[in-house]
Amino acid sequence: MLPSCAVGYPDFNKLDKDGCSNGVPRRSSTPGGSDQNPGELRIARWSFTMATFDNSDITTFGPELPAMFDGMKLAAVATVLYIIVRCLNLKSTTAPPEITYQDTPLSRYLLKSCPMLTKEYIPPLLWGKSGHLQTALYGKMGRVNTPTPCGVRKFLPMQDGATATFDLFEALGDHSTGDDVTMVICPGIGNHSEKNYIRTFVDHSQRQGYRCAVLNHLGALPNVDLTSPRMFTYGCTWEYAAMVGYIKRAFPQTLLVVVGFSLGGNIVCKFLGENRSNQDRVICCVSVCQGYSALRAQETFLQWDQCRRLYNFVLADNMRKLILSHRSSLLNMTSSNIGDADMSRLYAATSLMQIDDSIMRHKQECVCGVESPKREREKMPDVIFALTHHGGHLGFFEGAVLFPQPLTWMDKVIVEYTDAICHWEKGRPACRKSSRQHMNSFLENTGVTLSG
């Protein structure tokens, strides 16, 4: 049995000297002979030596075991730090975007007029170098300190009975060129004008003199019911074309800047390539975080590498929620062909492809006829492809250490690029005509994606 004086692992070699003999506590006395703190053991030095008692024999294990525990703690801390450094990509250095372009007068002008394309993109130090965290932050909150631009919602009846909607935001000042310029914006999959990243971009563009028209994907708005048994699909351009047509009729003098985010980039590029008349009064197209091959993405989205399977599941879950939010409208309409079996497959779906097969009824039509966007510099001179070293899908947050800024690198570089194009078009009308004719012919033949 452990003696009462040995609580706390004392140094048993000094027990007899410091206050204990044969396991019996000894009271300490003052020089005057009076007892001090009766019953309390005064131990001069404590150690962490473990001991066992067997018939009054003491066996000590020495200091090796505590040292081993300390080493294990250090190893665990080092392992955690290593994982954090690797996951957050902290060792990666910042760098300017990788720019792919042909050496033309327009390209040289744009690189000179757009310093953000040649300067380092600096994300927040502690977490901004992780593309997954950038993407997760965008997906969860969109932006920080999001403004609330004031706009007017427009309703456009379609031929099949559907009702397309878009929000129109007037410019908050004159454009630097003095021209009337409208950005016609197509958000990402299942998004609309009320999303935080759209509101932030629209507010910034308004302050730089741009009118903004933002498409609301059919069925994406939470408080707007469907008027036909149809939702948006991954390649349908009908609603976007209706919005652009309205803008052209309502503002006959305006110039158009086509902007697409994520899936919206596929839709706007497909729209420009469908018909040459769609490119009238369009001075440039900016496609952000666009996918380039839907067929190849179907295979890679089922892989776990780089969390692709997880992203696929999240996108599928969001699509399922959108469809279920309009379930009564879709099922109660006489022309609907969605049955109970389709709904059962919808509930069980874990990927966008499964939802597409069971509900959407449309294969993705936004497949580009190119292997890589970089290859297009050999075919079309007026294309710039910018690839950042850091950033996530529609993330591109900036900041010093921890907290991101309300305005992202993506918002600023789009407006800077568009400003440069507007000044180029205003100053060189002959070049504008030649460049636009070349772009019209090329887009009509290939449907290439433009990345700005």
Cite the beta strand spans of 163-317 per DSSP E. Answer: 163-169, 181-186, 211-216, 255-261, 282-288
Residue 328's φ and ψ, nearest 5 degrees, are -65, -40
**Average pLDDT estimate for 195-221:** 95
Please state whether beta strands 282-288 and 255-261 pair in parallel, antiparallel, or not at all (unpaired): parallel
Going from N- to C-terminal start, the domains of the chain cover 4-62, 98-233+247-292+368-446, 294-365
Band of residue 183 on the pLDDT scale cut at 50, 70, 90: very high
Average pLDDT value for residue range 171-179:
95
Percent of the chain with pLDDT over 90: 35
Q: CA–CA separation, 113 vs 190, rounded Å?
A: 34
DSSP H helices, 128-253, are: 131-141, 196-207, 238-250
Question: Residue 38: its pLDDT value, please?
Answer: 45
- Roughly what angle, to the nearest 10 degrees, separates helices 105-113 and 429-446? 100
Q: 102 is written with which tokens?
A: 């042909």
d(CA 140, CA 138): 6
Kind and range of the H or E run holding 98? strand 98-100
Q: How many whole angstroms separate alpha carbon 396 and alpha carbon 412?
A: 10
Of 68-77, 202-211, 393-402, 432-441, the range with the highest mean pLDDT is: 202-211
pLDDT of residue 178: 94
What is the rounded average pLDDT for all residues in the chain? 76
Calculate what percentage of the chain has a pLDDT beyond 70.
71
Per the CB < 8 A criterion, the answer to whether 397 and 404 are in contact is yes
Do 370 and 443 form a contact (C-beta atoms < 8 A)?
A: no
For every residue of 6-50, DSSP letters joined together read GTT-B-GGGHHHHTEETTEE---B-TTS-BSSTT----S-B----
Most confident of 2-16, 26-40, 379-393: 379-393
pLDDT tens, 378-429?
557 788 899 998 888 888 988 877 788 888 999 999 999 999 999 999 887 6
How far is the C-alpha of 232 from the C-alpha of 226, rounded, in Å? 11
To the question of pTM greater than 0.95 for the whole model, the response is no
Q: Which of 272, 164, 277, 178 is nearest to 213 (CA)?
A: 164
Check: CB of residue 394 under 8 Å from CB of residue 289.
yes
pLDDT score recorded for residue 308? 79
pLDDT for 61? 52
Residues with Cβ within 8 Å of 383's Cβ and at least 6 positions away in sequence, in order, are 101, 102, 376, 377, 448, 450, 451
CATH topology of domain 98-233+247-292+368-446: Rossmann fold (3.40.50)
Which tens digit of pLDDT belongs to each residue from 324-358? Answer: 888 777 766 544 555 667 777 788 888 877 777 76
Distance CA 148, CA 229 (A): 32
